[in-house]
Structure 1
Amino acid sequence: MQEQSIGAMLAAARHSAGLTVAQVSAATRIREAIILCMEQDDYGQCGGAFYARGHVRAVAKAVGLDPDATVHLYDQQYGGAPLPVRASAVFQADRKIHLPERRGPNWTMALGVALAIVVVFGMMRVMGGASDQVRTGDVRAASARPSVPPNTPITESPRAMASKPAAKDMVTVRIKAKRSSYVNVHDAEGRKLFSGTLKAGKTSTWRAAEKVNVLLADAGAVTLHVNGKKVKGLGGRGDMVRRSFGPPKTQSR
């Protein structure tokens, strides 16, 4: 396996997963022409070593390979990893470090500030009158709690009363992978619930309000249950399927 090139490994993994180039392109958002060139070990269309490493990681994840191990092998074959920086190139022993001179407290400035405070305080005493008493009778301590008249009902704020989605509006989707396959799940507002390869034998469940959108790169590789019921006729092996599911319909009495 180590003697194979990166392109041969990606192509072999894709065939083993039963994926077409178009399906890998849809899962990674990388053009089909670039994926074909990568499988021929031609990375000139990727736009540079930085983007090539990103494409290798994305395609490896889509076809079921370990992304970190594949990128590491790419770095070994093509030298894509950044070179380490030597400590001697950053720190120089003969460079002088100038420290600011430590000075004592400025007593002249401190004395000037104290004198200004005394003058201001004296002027306030003269302008305020000869009385030294400070009136505090008219000042009331503010209560930390707002007063509530008796027998007044306490109502909750609009935020606390905001209702959560009813259980009848929720959609539950459960997917079990018979073999490793790429799965993409979004809710009604387009928020991503899951995007990646679902490993063989693994089962995952997602819940969302109103609607769940599902993209399957290989419909024949998974079994799908919506609201506890198995969905039949999704597609065959290698078929890319995009479906949307809503909440269970209430039965009229």
Structure 2
Amino acid sequence: MSIGSSLAEARRSAGLTVAELSAHTRIREALIHAIERDDFSQCGGDFYARGHVRNIAKVVGLDPEAMVHEYDELHGGVPLPVRAASVFQADTPIKIRESRSPNWTTAMAVALAIVVVFAVVKTMGGGEETPTADVHPAVPTSSMPGEGPDTPGAPRKPASLAAGKVSGPVVLQIRAKRSSWLDVKDMSGKQLFSGTLEAGKTSVWRTDKGVKVIFSDGGAVSLQLNGKNLGAPGRRGQVVNRSYGVPASTPR
């Protein structure tokens, strides 16, 4: 399959429309349609096309680096680094008066160019998502204690909690620290919720066996399972699939 076909199929498998994907990635819908047709001419060059492919792959659940590598293989390899002069161009030539300290002037010009390049690269990397899908009614609950930002290297949760295994009925509470798209089903496949949980909102689902959840941003929410804090299910911007509860027993 081509890059565009792979991205389009992964998007449909994730249950996302082009409009929802555009909201997640901040990439225009028309440009997403073009990329899914393997038309990268509207991206503005390989540097920007690679960034778009990486962002889309991350949201739809594909390996971003593998997709970018495939793009490089089809388009002549990794592009050369962007020169600062090609990013920062003044409308009129900048005249620098001669002074007794030319080294300071050169150093300031180089520092300014580095800041501009950093800002451009950060902008192309995308920002926080602002999904626009409708939110289904949810049961409000009190704020979850002990919430905080995800910290790399923090102590891991006990295996039983991380795996979401509990005994008896399952009560899963999800609180959105940032607006985030969710897909919630019970163990039989019945749809319980599909949409965006707005920042600051909390929803609770109760089932006899358990639930399966797809998180579009693993770091945007925090969880409680039967009253126990599980924290965030993944990293910021990571698409995560999780199951919570006791799987059906196997007949002997």
Q: Please, what TM-score do these two structures have when normalized by structure 1?
A: 0.39
Q: Please, what TM-score do these two structures have when normalized by structure 2?
A: 0.40
Larger Rg: 1
